[in-house]
Amino acid sequence: MTPHADETTPLPPAGQDGKPLTRRQLRELEREHEHTRSDVSEPPAITGAQRAIGAALGRPRPRGRIAVALAAVVIAAIVLVPVVVSRFSHGGVTTAASAPAALAADAPIDEVLEVAGRVGSVPVVSLISPLAPATGVTTDTLITGQGRTLVTGDAVLLSVSTFSGTSGANTTGTSSGVRLYRGTVDAAGLGEVLADTVTGASEGSRLVLRAPVSADDGTVTTEITVVDVLPTTASGEEQTAADGMPTVAAADDGTVSLSVAGLEAPTRVAASVLVTGTGRQIDSGDVIIARYASVNWSDGSERASSYGDTVVPGTINMSNTLSGIAQRLVDATVGSRIVLALPADQATGEDAMAVVIDILAVTAADELTDTSTPSQEDTDDSGIVRVTPSPATGAKPAASTRKEQS
């Protein structure tokens, strides 16, 4: 049995000749015994790498230079093997992070992309994978609105954004990433594809089209078009009108009437919110898309109106409108309906006026596209914004989803 390292082996008291051992002989014998013990005892504690090697090989721990050499081999393997494997895989034999395969443009929409953002805001498109070139138009309804259902000839207000089917980038070409279409539901104004898409849709809906688009070099890719069908009348929480304000009544055809019967002419501007919208607040320099109607206070005769299901909403330039309107619309929210009483000096200067306004949207100069003949209140170009639409640079719709004007 192998003796333990801490056991002591007694030295002989005398040499072979029977004489007492000298000090030199004792030291030599002691060294021999120490050497014998080192050959049969366990080695001292060694490094973690050496212990790991021994465990992996299923044998006692290596010692000395052999252990150091084996440890170096293991360390080199740990460092170099992943590098070699990575370079080998990128050399064409196998690629772990290869580019995702293109998906069919007409695949189920939830398998290829996601659209974020509420209706009326700037949408964000996230592609699950790039889309192969589309061969036709695919239309999906992501959100079904609760407003009126559109038919041919109806007034329509659309917020439209286009995106690359390859990268998901916004390609609308405006500063905000959206373009507003103010017109009627017909192919002449919207183009056949877009007109067909919104016919039968309800206001408040979000629609998504995937269609082919060709570049100047003839390359065909997929274009994604997000269409928000915006309400064309106030939408929000109804409020009780303040006392002494003009009466507002809406008919089934979308028209609105104002009555000032029995009310004294105002001496200062007054306003009352009839519907509180949930959209953004109006600033003093905004151009808003709105419906409005006004009557003379003295006899109740109508001055102008842009209400009605088939009447295109008008625009109000907050920097170029009646001072009473500009004062009271600031900080109002999109979706609201407001009735105003304007004294003569805050109106046209000739007569006091009653005005009702539905705030439908806020637009910038490069966002608004008129797609039909302006309605009657727009015969005066003062404060009216009209913009000719243009497609994204280098791209032409293979199946038109927006009107191009010369």
State pLDDT tens for residues 204-216.
999 999 999 888 8
Asked if pLDDT for residue 149 goes beyond 80, the answer is yes
CATH number of the domain within which 372 lies = 3.10.50.40
Query: Does the residue 207 lie in any domain?
Result: yes
Nearest one of 300, 354, 297 to 322, comparing CA atoms = 354
For the ranges 7-21, 122-136, 242-256, 291-305, the lowest mean pLDDT is seen at 7-21
- Domain-embedded: residue 200: yes
Q: Are residues 82 and 120 both part of a single domain?
A: no
pLDDT attached to residue 99: 63
Report if residue 357 sits inside a domain: yes
pLDDT of residue 80: 56
Tens-place pLDDT, residues 80-93: 555 544 554 444 44
32-81 confidence digits (pLDDT tens): 666 555 554 444 444 443 343 334 334 445 556 655 565 565 555 565 55
Structural domain harbouring 209: 109-233+390-397
Residues 195 and 241 in one domain: no
**What's the rounded mean pLDDT across residues 4-28?**
61
pTM of the complete model: 0.68
**Residue among 176, 165, 233, 151 nearest 395 (CA):** 165
52 and 163 assigned to the same domain: no
pLDDT of residue 90: 47
Per residue in 105-120, pLDDT tens?
999 999 999 999 999 9
Helix (H, G, I), strand (E, B), or coil: what is residue 50?
helix
Range ranked top by mean pLDDT from 172-186, 376-390, 392-406 = 172-186
Q: Which of 194, 147, 169, 125 is nearest to 400 (CA)?
A: 194
pLDDT the model gives residue 348: 81
Tell me, what's the pLDDT at 402? 34
Who wins on pLDDT, 399 or 60? 60
Q: Which residue has the higher pLDDT, 404 or 384?
A: 404
Is 79 found in the same domain as 144?
no
Taking only the tens place, the pLDDT of each residue in 251-278 is: 999 999 999 999 999 999 999 999 999 9
Q: Are residues 256 and 278 in the same domain?
A: yes
User: Do both 217 and 178 map to the same domain?
Assistant: yes
Asked if residue 9 belongs to a domain, the reply is: no
pLDDT of residue 387 exceeding 50: no
Task: Say yes or no: 148 and 243 in one domain.
Answer: no
Banded model confidence at residue 378, pLDDT cuts 50, 70, 90: very low
Q: Return the amino acid letter for 285.
A: G
Q: Assess if residue 102 is contained within a domain.
A: no
- Answer yes or no: do 154 and 126 share one domain: yes
How many structural domains compose the chain? 3
Mean pLDDT, rounded, for 275-295: 94
Residue 214 confidence (pLDDT):
87
127 plus 243 within the same structural domain: no
pLDDT at 76: 58
Of residues 340 and 85, which shows the higher confidence score? 340
- Please report which helix (H) or strand (E) contains residue 324, including its range: helix 323-329
Q: Does pLDDT of 330 surpass 50?
A: yes
The answer to whether the Cα torsion of 34, 38, 40, 41 is positive or negative is: positive
Cα gap 366→129, rounded to integer Å = 31
Phi and psi torsions of 42, nearest 5° = -65, 145
344 domain residue, yes or no: yes
Is 25 a domain residue? no
**Both 73 and 142 in a single domain?**
no
State pLDDT tens for residues 131-143. Answer: 999 999 999 999 9
User: What band does 376 get if pLDDT is binned at 50, 70 and 90?
Assistant: very low
Q: Are residues 224 and 246 in the same domain?
A: no
CA distance 335 to 227: 18
Q: Is residue 4 part of a domain?
A: no
- 243 and 373 housed in the same domain: yes
The residue written with tokens 């409005």 in the block is 292
Percent share of the chain, pLDDT over 70 = 68
